Amino acid sequence: MWSFNSLEDALKGLPLVQGVFSQFQAPHVGGNTNPYAASIQVEEDEKSYNVVTFTKINGLTFGMFIMSTSPFPYRHKWGDGNHAEDGFLSAYEEFTKTKQFATLWYLSFLSHKKLSITLKQNKTPCSQCAPKLIKFTKETGAGLRIKAMMQYTGGAKPKGTEKQATQLLVQNNIPVIPYNLPKKVAAKKYDVNAMGQMHELKYVRYDEAEYMEEQDQKKVAKYRNSFDEQEVGLAKIVLEHLDKTKVDLTNPDAVLKAMYKNQDLKRFTKEDMGSLESVTKRMASIWKSLS
């Protein structure tokens, strides 16, 4: 089902998974149903009901996955399903059979670090996906973290079910980190990521200037405010569960400061990867020793 680009091509800019999207877009791009638009629900915006998962492995863009409307689920050994996270798990399972994966795993081994995986999502994993991701990390030993724009609420499911799913992830050593995009893109102009690929936030903007033609500046402010509210709300859910920080949960600044203190910083880095020439030489050496 899945095909993959070479590690060399990935280091030149392509995602590891062939034929998938790899960019978040500004919230006004593509109308109300574009799942890749970096937005959360504002006035019943339809795109906020779609789930998208942008994924990285050892800092390299793996690909973006969306909820499937096909009658056939994404297949993988951690439990088939149609959710965006199932798309990632399905592609990852096939990726483990490639030389590209073996090389990344070996480079992690040489750097004394776990394989670093990041999922950036518009919503936290639901109560169906959280157990799959926990099982995935336990069986693979990968270092998984999740960055989410908002806490998933679950619609008709019993109140608190999805909050418990988020806390279950944290309990199983999977950090869940608020992902406040307007704040990020206001602080930095993104171009390429640490590995030299086009950064997933390069084309995400929340500037009023981009909305001048539509005279929709008020909507921009609502997006920003909604992200701020969701950032604090998700941080509270995580900290309530950790219950180690003794943080005043009524103080947004204190909540966010404590939240970011709990991040796992021992991740695979550009220095661990080395230059393209260095990686190519290492790859040749690795496969020569294994042949």
Q: What pTM does this model have?
A: 0.89
Q: Which two tokens stand for residue 256?
A: 């966010």
What average pLDDT score do residues 42-59 get? 78
Residue 99: inside a domain: yes
Of 23 and 241, more confident: 23
pLDDT of residue 243: 63
Q: Which domain holds residue 26?
A: 7-290
Task: Give the closest residue to 53 by CA, choosing from 85, 20, 24.
Answer: 85
pLDDT per position as a tens digit, 24-45: 988 878 777 788 988 887 666 6
Q: Residue 177: is its pLDDT beyond 80? A: yes
Position 156 scores a pLDDT of: 58
Contact between 16 and 10 under an 8 Å Cβ cutoff? The reply is: yes
User: Is 21 inside a domain boundary?
Assistant: yes
Q: Is residue 120 part of a domain?
A: yes
Residue 2, in any domain of the structure: no
Does 284 or 268 have the greater pLDDT score? 268
Instruction: Pinpoint the alpha helices (H) of the chain.
Output: 7-11, 84-95, 99-110, 129-140, 161-171, 181-187, 217-242, 252-261, 270-273, 276-290
* pLDDT tens digit sequence for 158-169: 677 899 999 999
Q: Let me know if residue 216 belongs to a domain.
A: yes
Query: How many domains, in total, are found in the chain?
Result: 1
Q: Considering the domain boundaries, does residue 189 fall inside one?
A: yes
List, for residues 216-228, the tens digit of each pLDDT value: 666 777 778 889 9
Q: Is residue 130 very low, low, confident or very high in pLDDT (cuts 50, 70, 90)?
A: very high
Residue 1 inside a domain? The answer is no
Q: What is the mean pLDDT of the chain?
A: 84
Distances (CA, A) of 136 to 89, 113, 144, 187, 271: 8, 17, 9, 34, 27
pLDDT level of residue 157 (50, 70, 90 thresholds):
low
